[in-house]
Amino acid sequence: MLFQLVLRHQANAKSDILSGLTVALALVPEAVAFAFIAGVHPLVGLYAAFMVGLVTAVFGGRPGMISGATGALAVVMVALVAQAERQFGDGAGVQYLFAAVILMGFIQFAAGALKLGKFIRIVPHPVMLGFVNGLAIVIFLAQLPQLQSLTPEGKWGWVSGDWLSGMAMFWMAGLIGLTMLITWGLPKLTKAIPSALAAIVVCSLLVIGLDIDTKRVGDLASIAGGLPDFSVPLVAFNLETLLFIAPYSIIFAAIGLIESLLTLTVIDEMTETRGRGNKECMAQGAANIVTGFFGGMGGCAMIGQSMINVNAGGRGRLSGIAAALFLLSFILFASPLIEQIPIAALTGVMFMVVIGTFEWSSFRIMRRIPRHDAFVLVLVSGVTVVTDLAVAVVVGVIVSALVFAWEHAKHIRASTYTDKQGWKVYELSGPLFFSSVSDFKDLFDPKSDPSDVVIEFKHSRVCDHSAIEAIDTVAERYSAAGKTLHLRHVSPECRKLLKRAGTLVEVNLLEDPNYKVAVDELA
């Protein structure tokens, strides 16, 4: 038994280390590209990928999940950098970015400490599907610039030019196809090494050995550098700075937590295990605080790299730690070698991630699920692509909540009968809340009803203040008609809600002197 345990541990360690190496190779062009998007030096993105990845791998709530610099944050960070450059002078942008990332980290840590991670449970499944599909499309679109030529421009490097053509496109497409073929086919033969890693190695040896003229990592930027240095952001510590960075930090924190918690949920489903959301929030916060003080652009969980890691066999914390340390070693020691890796190989790996991430089953179920769920799925996917993840998820949750409220507003109904005392009983079913109060009021006929009327709540419940106001309104109608309204079988939760309402309805009184509502607590 002990021998089997040691063998299993060694096998897991091997899988984690090899998958970590694969992830690290895929992180390099992503981090560089996101740094360009944010308008900062490529090393700022690489340092973020290293530090965020390392801290979350050690302290996070989801072993096997990979974090680093992400495009979702980069597209918002560019606005902060540009505004800071205009407002505070040339070179100030990156310093204010570091300050905003630190504040972002404190907000995320506080969210975890306050156990707000549990609210990820309110995200409906159609929103989850839309999130996954939207991110798959975003990852795909992020690879398209690799099929374009490089035009030197800007402070730090290059922008995409025209689409490749001729032999350049031939080699790019051929190497992408070869990478995808190896990634797909190798696991059918052996799982001794991650197929993505094998594909990258094969394509790199082919390009270097034949001296093929194709885009390589070094064409994007040099990744050579030293260890990140500790430094306090060079910003004025005053209220003006806080007011400037706070809105951005709140947005950064929201995007980072939403993407991290949703990615955690996806990995939970893939591995049939359960991560700890609040712990992950605190780890993400700590990672961004550290990153801000060490010259990184901040980050969050990355669904693409997490998918690469899990599919390559990386399930433990060692995989994330290995990915971060490999990335650092690339920066310190192996930059000339890493810069020779063809972009096509890494693009092919990401295309396979897109295929694996996209929920193709969503096409099959579109006609089987309610129309509003199908609408939410498509809406979230589209908003994720057009704007950003945080907006998409918030929109999806709001639309789902409105649909839920509308559908349940139809469920309030009542059957009537006369009891032994000659009182008319309205036996309610369905929840009484803001969306159903209009139909609730229409159920009653004070003019025709007898002098005593009972609302039976055995199969219903009072949910909010709107419900209390509706009961109050109905009671006033009966009072104006000289009749008495009774409430019966009000649940304990509803009684507490009624008691908190103060002068609106007093539970345990036979008749309220102000609103003429008798609340009968009959078991």
Question: Could you tell me if 391 and 482 lie in one domain?
Answer: no
228 falls in which pLDDT band (50, 70, 90)? very high
The total domain count for the chain is 2
This prediction has a pTM of 0.78
518 falls in which pLDDT band (50, 70, 90)? low
Question: Could you tell me if 446 and 368 lie in one domain?
Answer: no
- Given 351, 376, 400, the domain boundary residue is 400
- The Cα 132–Cα 500 span in angstroms is 42
Question: Could you tell me if 285 and 378 lie in one domain?
Answer: yes
162 backbone φψ class: left, alpha, beta (φ>0; ψ -120 to 50): beta
506 falls in which pLDDT band (50, 70, 90)? very low
Helices (H) and strands (E) in the chain, counts: 20, 9
Confirm if 297 and 291 have CB atoms less than 8 A apart: yes
pLDDT in tens, 236-282: 999 999 999 999 999 999 889 998 999 999 899 888 888 999 999 99
Q: What percent of the chain has pLDDT over 90?
A: 48
pLDDT in tens, 462-499: 888 888 888 888 888 888 888 888 888 877 777 776 66
Is residue 4 scored above 50 in pLDDT? no
Question: Could you tell me if 321 and 436 lie in one domain?
Answer: no
Contacts of residue 198, Cβ cutoff 8 Å, sequence gap at least 6: 182, 186
- The Cα 227–Cα 24 span in angstroms is 17
7 falls in which pLDDT band (50, 70, 90)? very low
**Which amino acid is residue 272, in one-letter code?**
E
Q: What percent of the chain has pLDDT over 70?
A: 90
Question: Could you tell me if 381 and 473 lie in one domain?
Answer: no
In this predicted structure, what is the pLDDT of residue 312? 87
Q: DSSP per residue over 99-144, as a string?
A: HHHHHHHHHHHHHHHTTGGGGGGGS-HHHHHHHHHHHHHHHHHHHG
Question: Could you tell me if 396 and 458 lie in one domain?
Answer: no
313 occurs within a structural domain: yes
Is residue 310 scored above 80 in pLDDT? yes
Is residue 298 scored above 90 in pLDDT? yes
Q: What are phi and psi of 309, to 5 degrees?
A: -65, -50
Question: Could you tell me if 144 and 262 lie in one domain?
Answer: yes
Confirm if 158 and 150 have CB atoms less than 8 A apart: yes
Question: Could you tell me if 247 and 369 lie in one domain?
Answer: yes
> How many CB atoms sit inside 10 A of residue 357's CB?
20
CATH number for the domain harbouring residue 493:
3.30.750.24
- Shortest CA distance to 136 belongs to which of 363, 324, 365? 363
Question: Could you tell me if 115 and 21 lie in one domain?
Answer: yes
Least confident of 144-158, 219-233, 267-281, 443-457: 144-158
Confirm if 33 and 150 have CB atoms less than 8 A apart: no
> How many CB atoms sit inside 10 A of residue 292's CB?
26
- The Cα 94–Cα 8 span in angstroms is 46
Structure-token pair, residue 3:
């021998």
In this predicted structure, what is the pLDDT of residue 345? 93
219 falls in which pLDDT band (50, 70, 90)? confident
Question: Could you tell me if 376 and 476 lie in one domain?
Answer: no
124 occurs within a structural domain: yes
204 falls in which pLDDT band (50, 70, 90)? very high
89 occurs within a structural domain: yes
189 occurs within a structural domain: no
345 occurs within a structural domain: no
185 occurs within a structural domain: no
- The Cα 127–Cα 258 span in angstroms is 12
If DSSP codes are grouped into helix, strand and coil, which group holds residue 410? coil
Residues making up the chain, counted from first to last:
523
Question: Could you tell me if 114 and 255 lie in one domain?
Answer: yes
Confirm if 437 and 460 have CB atoms less than 8 A apart: no
pLDDT in tens, 31-64: 888 888 788 888 999 999 999 999 999 999 999 9
84 occurs within a structural domain: yes
Structure-token pair, residue 304:
């693409």
- CA dihedral angle for residue 88, residue 91, residue 97, residue 98, rounded to 10 degrees: -120
What is the span of the domain harbouring residue 41?
9-157+220-337+359-400
pLDDT in tens, 323-347: 999 999 999 999 999 999 999 999 9
Q: What are phi and psi of 413, to 5 degrees?
A: -155, 170
Question: Could you tell me if 394 and 433 lie in one domain?
Answer: no
Please provide the average confidence, as pLDDT, over all residues in the chain: 86
